[in-house]
Structure 1
Amino acid sequence: YYEDTDAGGIVYHSRYINFCERARSEAFFERGMMPGEGSDSGFVVRNINAGFLATSTLGDMLEVNSTILSRKSSSIVLLQEIFKEDIRVFSMEVTLVYIENGRPRRIPERFQVIFDSFEA
């Protein structure tokens, strides 16, 4: 979209992180769920390691692929890659931690099922 680009029509670097966040949220929304249970619980980002590999421009159709790299009881590490056709333009590893009342907690089973879909 125009709002995602600079005056030259190139996608801002920070928008790729937004696109990945939206893709994770959509995985929950498609199942009629929210990625948390109110204001006192949900997933927070602990770490991001991002690589900007190519540019995208206004009008490009982008696809976000998400894959699980590792899981622990309260956290999950995902590889999220953005493609423009068959060109990988962005890649990031993101560590998400599930918290309740500000403290790490075991990821609920109903959310684990959503992440299972990333392995298929």
Structure 2
Amino acid sequence: MKIRVYYEDTDAGGIVYHSNYLNFCERARSHLFFDAGRSPILEEGHFVAKHLEADYIKSAKLGDVLDVKTSLVEMKNASLTLLQQVYREDEKLFEMTIVLVFIDFAGKMSKIPPMEREFFLAL
């Protein structure tokens, strides 16, 4: 997913503020669903972040066009791990792994429904 860096994404020096990389990755995860004509809020529940590890490699700057790439690392019964990388052209700027847990609308961890399993396996 392509993202343009706007003034609101940066600090006073025009460098992307560190927490905005997480926002860019969140937006890219939502777009996985939107691009497939679906909603991230599912009939059975939704995914929540449980754990993430981030590596800030290089800085993005005001006006840059970034590409967020998402791939599946691992899937368990009720959770999945994604790798998300942010690039400026061919230069990797940021990388994180995030563990998402599927919860039902009562707030309980639940098995990932078959349709969602297929959706993420296709990444």
Deviation of the 1:36 alpha carbon: 2.1
Asked if 1:66 is matched to 2:79, the reply is: no
Are positions 1:25 and 2:22 aligned together? no
Residues of 2 paired with 1:44 and 1:2: CA distance? 29
Q: Which residue in 2 is equivalent to 1:41?
A: 45
- TM-fit CA distance, 1:72: 0.3
Q: Please tell me whether residue 98 in structure 1 is matched to residue 102 in structure 2.
A: yes
TM-score normalised per structure 2: 0.89
Q: How many angstroms apart in 2 are the aligned matches of 1:114 and 1:60?
A: 30
Corresponding residue for residue 61 of structure 2: 57
Question: Where does residue 120 of structure 2 map in the other structure?
Answer: 115
Specify the code of the residue in structure 2 equivalent to 1:36: I
**Aligned-pair Cα RMSD in Å:** 1.4
CA distance in 1 between partners of 2:7 and 2:67 (Å): 17
Identity %: 44
What is the total number of aligned residue pairs between the two structures?
Answer: 117
Q: Distance in 2 between matches of 1:6 and 1:66?
A: 26
TM-score (norm 1): 0.91
| 1:53-94 deviation digits (Å, cap 9, x = unpaired) | 000001111011111111101100011010111111000010
Residues 27 and 114 of structure 1 are in contact (CA less than 8 Å); yes or no, is this contact kept in structure 2? Answer: no
Structure 1: 5+ residue stretches without partners: none
The yes-or-no answer on 1:9 pairing with 2:14 is yes
Amino acid at match of 2:57: L
Matches within 5 A, 1:69-80: 69-80=73-84
